[in-house]
Chain A
Amino acid sequence: MIRRGFLAGLAGLTALAAGRRAAAADASAQPRRPYRIYMALFRGWEEAAQGFKDYFSNQGIPVELIVRDCAQDKSKLPEFVAEAKALGVDLVFTWGTTVTQEMLGTIGAVDPARHITDIPAVFAIVSQPVGAKMVPNLQSSGRNITGTSYLVPMETQVNLLRSYLPVPILGMVYNPLERNSLVAIDELRELGAAQGFSVIAAPVDVVEGKPVAAGIPGKVAQLKQAGAGFLYIPPDTFLNVNRDILTQAALDQRLPSFAAAENPVVTSKAMFGGVYRYYTVGQLTAYKAEQILVHKVPPRDIAIDAPKRLSIILNMPVVRALGVYPPMNLLGLAEVIDGPEIRP
């Protein structure tokens, strides 16, 4: 799925001319040719890409987006690098850890021949920008790139979870093959030691090197038995795929569940979640692109950060079914998913 670039609405151009401050900020102060941005995606056009694009039209910044999707195929990426260089675009946008690593190169392994170096780049949806060796720290990349992070820090997640219901024992089902989940357990335990809660983690069964989804309900029951008061759902690809099984099991066990990702709450039956929406992350990435393109800020001077505001999502049918109601203040901040009644 490859979309050709298109021009952001002409309305944006007139808005630019009318806008006092934007005009002042633009050095040329003239309606200029659109900025050309090369968007390299990993699995098609989704919310982050949409947020990125919408930001420019909302701000009235004319851009020409050249959109390429590698459809989870790493081998296409060298072609993208070559094409971006050949087109001489103003900025490159990379989606996901794989695309970002392959196109921009990791620290110490940047090759001007294979990677994009002269063109400024912004990345999005890289879960561990430091861990993935994209940047030495979040304050500055030290090179011609910047980006956004999208994972909610564990402490924020835990605070949110405990503001809903301060349970003494937190349960967690995880995929032992996924490194992110193991990191999450460590982080949770550390926070638990500081804040006074314990964590029970149940790994899903692995058969022939592959996790098995069928065992999930049993694991959840096991956690409930052990006294867990809340189920923590980590941002884990396997669990994301099997989110219906997992969240339904929690509901059956009358166990409230918290998800660190959007899907289990929005499209399944997790009770609530605290996430940075991909759309918002896309907008924030575009904001950084604006700093580079319009305000001429060098990418190395732009810190890598996450959106300021967390999206708290409440799945009301699940809340009602469990009878575990959110505190008023949390409710006031939350976005609510409502729908027909469900039964555990």
Chain B
Amino acid sequence: MSWSLARKVSAALVALLLCTGLLTAVFGYYKFEDVLSSLVRSRYSFVVFTIKKNVEDRLNLGFALRQLRQIQEAIELEKVRDDQVLGIEIYDSRGEVLFNTDRGGIGTSVPAKWLEPLEATTTQPFSLLDEDAQLVGLPLVNTLGKVEGAVVLRFPAAFLERELGQLLGRLALELLAALAGFSVIAAVASYALLGSVGRRLGGMERTLDKVLADGGFAEPDPRDEGGFETRFAEFVLKTREAVDHISESTDEVERLDRLA
């Protein structure tokens, strides 16, 4: 397959345009996801923080974590208030679930990795990824400065895609349309730009053929003083001259040959 100059250049431009568009879209999407999920996470952190405050105030009164029965109602209330919350759990430093919005889960053990943040930090919020849920959690610290356990809130991991699928789909279409439109522009413009190169080369080729076949002169563009086309015209002339000379010489030799 032969590729014209314009096709090569427009292919390069379109490929670049697509890469740039795609890259920008991907970065834009990730950024948006970042901002949105940090907003969502900050909301849940806030909820978790209010629960933590509530629990620690009671721990400060000397109650043991497992005795804080009112907390069960408090976390259930928080879950009712927000239908995106999958569940809220409070577990102790050994990993036993003491309170859970899903009451069936009380008394079970949490995965070992949920205990890791309790050893590393004492006051920093942590986030974890469950199978299909994200978690934000805060350690619960008693008045002795000892981590008694943690409260975690689970929310769906794929909320962004679900909530904003339509919006993102529309944006993707718009992006594709814009890329397609500008690809066409790129192609047309590169044909226009490189067409002249092709035309001039074609013109020179035709002149060459014509002069060699029929004789005459190549007419260089007068503006192209000393440029390629002027030199090419000289070349055409010289070639014609050489060909003529050689064929005249051939005729001469032939004549000599026949003469004998």
Chain A contact residues, CB within 8 Å of chain B: 18-22, 51, 54, 58, 277, 279-280, 283-284, 287, 307-309, 311, 332, 335
- A54 and B144 within 8 A (CB): no
Residues on the A chain within 8 Å of B60, using CB: 280, 309, 311, 335
Residues on the A chain within 8 Å of B25, using CB: none
Given A283-B143, A309-B60, 10 other A-B contacts at CB below 8 A?
A20-B95, A22-B94, A51-B62, A279-B62, A280-B60, A284-B143, A287-B144, A307-B144, A335-B57, A335-B60
- B143 and A308 within 8 A (CB): yes
Chain B contact residues, CB within 8 Å of chain A: 53, 56-57, 60-62, 64, 66, 93-96, 115, 141, 143-146
B64 interface neighbour in A19, A21, A58, A287, Cβ under 8 Å: A58
Say what secondary structure dominates the interface of chain A: helix
Q: Quick one: closest A residue to B60, CB to CB? A: A309
Report the minimal beta-carbon distance from A226 to chain B, rounded to whole angstroms.
Answer: 37
- B94 and A19 within 8 A (CB): yes
Say what secondary structure dominates the interface of chain B: loop
The 7 A-B pairs at the shortest CB distance, nearest first, are namely A58-B64, A308-B145, A309-B143, A19-B94, A279-B62, A307-B143, A284-B144
Residues on the A chain within 8 Å of B144, using CB: 280, 283-284, 287, 307-308
Please report the C-alpha to C-alpha distance between residue A54 and residue B61 in the assembled complex, in whole angstroms.
13
- B93 and A21 within 8 A (CB): yes
- B64 and A54 within 8 A (CB): yes
Q: Quick one: closest B residue to A280, CB to CB? A: B143
- A335 and B61 within 8 A (CB): yes
Max count, chain A CB within 10 A of own CB: residue among B53, B66, B94: B94
Q: Quick one: closest A residue to B67, CB to CB? A: A58
Q: Quick one: closest B residue to A308, CB to CB? A: B145
Q: Quick one: closest A residue to B64, CB to CB? A: A58
- A287 and B94 within 8 A (CB): no
Q: Quick one: closest B residue to A16, CB to CB? A: B94
Listed A/B pairs (7) with beta-carbon separation below 8 Å: A54-B64, A58-B66, A283-B143, A307-B143, A311-B60, A332-B53, A335-B61
Report the minimal beta-carbon distance from B37 to chain A, rounded to whole angstroms.
Answer: 29
Please report the C-alpha to C-alpha distance between residue A20 and residue B118 in the assembled complex, in whole angstroms.
14
Please report the C-alpha to C-alpha distance between residue A58 and residue B66 in the assembled complex, in whole angstroms.
9
